[in-house]
Amino acid sequence: MANTILDFEKPIAELENKIAEFEKLGTSHSMDVDQEMSVLKTKIEETKRMIYERLTPWQRVQLARHPDRPYMLDYLGRIFTDFLEFHGDRRYSEDPAIVGGFAKLDGRPVAVLGTQKGRNIKENVFRNFGCPHPEGYRKALRIMKLADKAKIPIISLMDTPGAFPGIASEERHIGEAIAVNLREMFELPVPYIAAVIGEGGSGGALGIGVGNRILILENAYYSVITPEGCAAILWKDRAFSAKAAESLRLTAKDLLELGIADEIVKEPLGGAHKDFDAAADFLKKALKKNLADFDKMSPKQIKEDRYQKFRKMGVFTE
């Protein structure tokens, strides 16, 4: 169960607290409170649907960042089996912010990689808050090339605020590492399915996100910049983050309409953090369905499919 309550979820939390009070009252005083409980439960379901079906872009960003939301490793253990993790980029070091290796998806061999955040301060320091260094992207590329040799599909799960922008990253050429990945991903002759499971932060996500299909969870977002960063640049004040989130067109629905995302993956009512197993089941079905589209394609057709997908993105006027 989620422990963190967002501002817009407070009406639901208040009703749930009332139910807990009635349960305690009924138990301690041997009272029949079934009718009151039934009314409150109905009210909760109505309130949930009213709130979650009308979420603003900023509220979806908050859900995408929810500290109780399932991360890459949570999905990995529920969707895949026989995972064999790879470490290091064979050039500099290991980067725990990106996890990757080989696994099986209902018996089918696949390469799987993604960004991983931490649940507490210790884990977040270890995972660098889900912000990869250059060696993380080079490790990801190493796994992609091994998947190419093995002729197996690649699946990436993206959940990062962005690549790490510190001095250490610049010294080891973070821009070059991401750029090389972009180039090499277009040349891969194996199917590549990318899924945004939380935050899709700019080049940090794109560095492992050039897929034949881009899936996005219902309450995830994918954007060239965070709403806070956009607000700080355009309005010189992060208080305008909600306005920036709306202007950036970063929600799953927006991305599907713009042709950037290919499919919205359903989440349990209230967000993926409400039910890890159900969220993983929805994602697993989407991954399997999209992988099946490439079963009869040649390597050349797979490459061309990916190239044409990205060529169609964007609208411009002269």
C-alpha distances in angstroms, 192 versus 31, 147, 204?
59, 10, 17
The pLDDT value recorded for residue 97 is: 97
The pLDDT value recorded for residue 37 is: 73
Q: Are 51 and 95 a contacting pair, CB within 8 Å?
A: no
3-state SS class at 54: coil
The two structure tokens encoding residue 8: 């817009």
Output the pTM of the full model.
Answer: 0.91
Q: Are 140 and 181 a contacting pair, CB within 8 Å?
A: yes
The pLDDT value recorded for residue 18 is: 82
3-state SS class at 212: coil
CA 52 to chain centre: 18
Torsion of CA 53, 58, 60, 65, to 10 degrees: -150
Distance CA 312, CA 292 (A): 22
Q: Per DSSP, what are the bridge partners of residue 113? A: 100, 156
3-state SS class at 19: helix
pLDDT 10s per residue in the chain (318 long)? Answer: 457 888 898 888 888 888 877 777 666 666 666 777 788 888 888 998 899 989 999 999 999 999 999 999 999 999 999 999 999 999 999 999 999 999 999 999 999 999 999 999 999 999 999 999 999 999 999 999 999 999 999 999 999 999 999 999 999 999 999 999 999 999 999 999 999 999 999 899 999 999 999 999 999 999 999 999 999 999 999 999 999 999 999 999 999 999 999 999 999 999 999 999 999 999 999 999 999 999 999 999 999 999 999 998 876 666
Q: Which of 225, 161, 145 is nearest to 199 (CA)?
A: 161
The pLDDT value recorded for residue 1 is: 43
SS3 per residue for 79-114: HCEEEEEECCCCCCCCCCCEEEEEEEECCEEEEEEE
Degrees, nearest 5: CA angle 280-207-99: 50
Torsion of CA 219, 273, 46, 9, to 10 degrees: -80
The pLDDT value recorded for residue 42 is: 87
